[in-house]
Structure 1
Amino acid sequence: MISLLKEVGRGKRGARDLTYEEALEAAAAILDRTATPAQTGAFFIAERIKMESVEELEAFVVSCRKRAYRAPLQDGIDCAGPYDGRKSTFYATFASAFVLAASGLPVTLHGSASLPPKWGITLTDLLAELGIDAERLGRERPVQAAKETGVLFVPSETWCPPLKELRGIRQELGMRTVLNTAEKLVDYSHSPYLAFGVYHNTVFDRMARLLTKLNYRKSIIIQGAEGSEDLFIDRPTRTYIVENGEARLQVIDPETYGLDTPVPAVDWTPAEQVRVTEQVLRGEADLAFTNQVLLNAAVRLHLSERVDSAEEGFYTCKANIDSGAAWKLYERWREAMREEDKEEDKEEDKDRAGSMSAAKQAY
């Protein structure tokens, strides 16, 4: 590890990119914790200063995948947003997942407790509001919920343990690292389609080359809200479509579809995120949030080749909100994700009842 650190840590002018094989070696040392915490932190900082190459990013993605539980559960789309969460925007992806699943497209979501640099609201915070403890999910319950509804949520630090083991170092550094990209591309369900969020348009080309190497059938890279995969509804969004080894710029303007809507100011909390999500799925939300979900769902439905155009996707998705299909699917998923907790509560009740009975007999 020391020799690799010398190559990436010579300063902005002297440092060089690692070869793919060297990067695999560094990734193995870090993910398997044979590198010391000091070496790991130094590597992350040096890469941050130098900027990770495509080969280095690929090596960390491949290494994370090898150490993760991955199952070919769904022929659908992976929605890969930032694990450091949201602070000022609506989580349109969460509501969109149920609209898409109701439209016949399976969806994979994944995340963890909040991370630097943003420390925002995460999907696990939303699950907590629903009474679902992401840390206790394991594998069986999310997989069963996905089989019943088409929506899979993966607690990433459970399915890819090295991410949990490295959390402390990442928190101490307080800045983004190579893992901020790699953890979004573990591809837990072997999805052929990908919606991937980025913050800066300067990384479009590099991410396009990376996604080509990772062999997705079709991907969309989105410079979305707070660096997420969510298209804006009040202004155009820059995206890259990656397909067959080629990438093309596509600016998606909500005005083109008659959906452009001013977004009301909201003091977002996990509870508020869930409340608006449920309003959207019931067809009762502010028009801006409903339109944002419809736009994102329609574009993803088209990307995944379920419809011939985004316009057709819009009408398909709107019908599944208006009919109540998306809401019913959400309710079924929510209950399926809580099932184990119910069983555990029953067992605890039995244990308490048994203890009380034994106490009475003793008395």
Structure 2
Amino acid sequence: MINLLKEVARGKRGARDLSMEESLQAAEWIMTRKATPAQIGAFFIAERIKMESVEELEAFVTVLRKHAERAPVRKGIDCAGPYDGRKKSFMATFPTAFVLAAAGLPVTLHSAPSLPPKWGTTLLDLLLEMGIDAQRMQKDALIRVAEATGVLFVPAEMWCPPLKELRSIREELGMRTVLNSAEKLVNYSGSPYIVYGVYHNTVFERMSKLIQNLQYEKALIVQGPEGSEDMFIDRATRTYIVDGGEPRLHVVNPDEYGLETPLPEKENGWTAADQLRVTEEVLRGEAHMAFTNQVMLCGAVRLHLAGRVGSVEEGVYTCKSLLDSGAALDIFRTWCGAMLGKEQLI
């Protein structure tokens, strides 16, 4: 490990990217804790300064997948948002998951307790607010819920133990590491489609190459609110489509679909209770139009990515119908009941 550290930590001019073989070795030593905490911390900081190469990122994803529990359920879409959570924006991906499931597209959501650098509200916090402690659930129980409802929730640190073991080091560092990118690509359900959030547009090309190497059938990289996979509803969103050939920039403009809506002002940050309340309002048809429109746009783009509709416009109409009819709400209620152990699944 010391020899590898010498290569990535020689300073701005002397540091070099590791080869794939070297990267795999470093990732394995870190994930199995054969490297010391000091060495792990030094490696993470050196990589942050140097900036991780595609090969280094791929190696960490490969080793995380090796040490993770994975369970192919049904062909669906992986919604990969930031594990450091959200502070200033609505987590539209959560209600969107039930709209997609109502449309027949299985969804995988995954999360962990909040992490640096943002320390925001996570999907796991929403479940805890609902009285669901997914971290105490057996894997088989989560899979049964997914098979019945189309929505799989994965507590990442339970299904991928190295992430839990490295938490204390990440918390002490207090900043982004290579794991902030890699942990979202474990692909717990073997999904052929992924929608992946990034914070800066400078990483579009690098992440596009990485996702191509990981052989997803189709992917959408989104520069959404707070680095999330959600679309903005009050302005256009920059995305990259990765579909076999050359990745291409695609700007999603809500105004093209008659959905652009100013967001209501919110003085304080978004708590888990706020997120859950608005989620339920959207699914019941009682939310501010901005949040309903955001869910419809996110759902439409994801349905189109997975080939379930012929256009984003068709996807908008599909999502609106599923919200208006109560189909998405029914899936949500069934899912909640099953996750709480109150509803018998056949």
- Fold in common (TM above 0.5): yes
Q: Once the two structures are aligned, what percentage of the paired residues are identical?
A: 67
Tell me the equivalent position of 1:351: none
Which of 277, 280, 283 aligns to 2:279? It is 277
Alignment of 1:238-317 (within 5 A): 238-266=238-266, 267=268, 268-317=270-319
TM-score, with structure 2 as normaliser: 0.97
Dislocated runs of 4+, deviation >3 Å: none
Distance 1:105 1:237 in 2: 23
- How far does residue 340 in structure 1 lie from its aligned partner after superposition? 8.1
Alignment of 1:189-228 (within 5 A): 189-228=189-228
Rg larger in 1 or in 2?
Answer: 1
Deviations 1:293-343 (A, max 9, x none): 00000000000000100111111111111010000100000011111899x
Distance 1:168 1:298 in 2: 39
Answering whether residue 324 of structure 2 is matched by residue 322 of structure 1, we say: yes
Query: Which amino acid in the other structure matches residue 324 of structure 2?
Result: D
- How far does residue 164 in structure 1 lie from its aligned partner after superposition? 0.2
Distance 2:137 2:74 in 1: 19
Deviations 1:265-299 (A, max 9, x none): 23311111000000101111000000000000000
Alignment of 1:4-23 (within 5 A): 4-23=4-23
Distance 2:197 2:238 in 1: 11
- How far does residue 142 in structure 1 lie from its aligned partner after superposition? 1.4
Give the 3-state SS of the residue equivalent to 1:246 in structure 2: coil
- Contact 1:138-1:155 within 8 A present in 2 as well: no
Answering whether residue 38 of structure 2 is matched by residue 35 of structure 1, we say: no
Alignment of 1:30-109 (within 5 A): 30-109=30-109
Query: Which amino acid in the other structure matches residue 165 of structure 2?
Result: E
- Contact 1:141-1:340 within 8 A present in 2 as well: no
Structure 1 unaligned regions, length at least 5: 343-363
Query: Which amino acid in the other structure matches residue 302 of structure 2?
Result: R
- Contact 1:99-1:321 within 8 A present in 2 as well: yes
Distance 1:138 1:112 in 2: 16
- How far does residue 245 in structure 1 lie from its aligned partner after superposition? 3.6
- How far does residue 138 in structure 1 lie from its aligned partner after superposition? 3.1
Structure 2 unaligned regions, length at least 5: none
- How far does residue 140 in structure 1 lie from its aligned partner after superposition? 1.9
Tell me the equivalent position of 1:229: 229
Give the 3-state SS of the residue equivalent to 2:340 in structure 1: helix
Tell me the equivalent position of 1:349: none
- How far does residue 258 in structure 1 lie from its aligned partner after superposition? 0.5
Distance 2:260 2:50 in 1: 39
- Contact 2:334-2:343 within 8 A present in 1 as well: no
Structure having the higher helix fraction is 1
- Contact 1:78-1:187 within 8 A present in 2 as well: yes
TM-score, with structure 1 as normaliser: 0.93
Q: Larger deviation: 265-274 or 320-329? A: 265-274
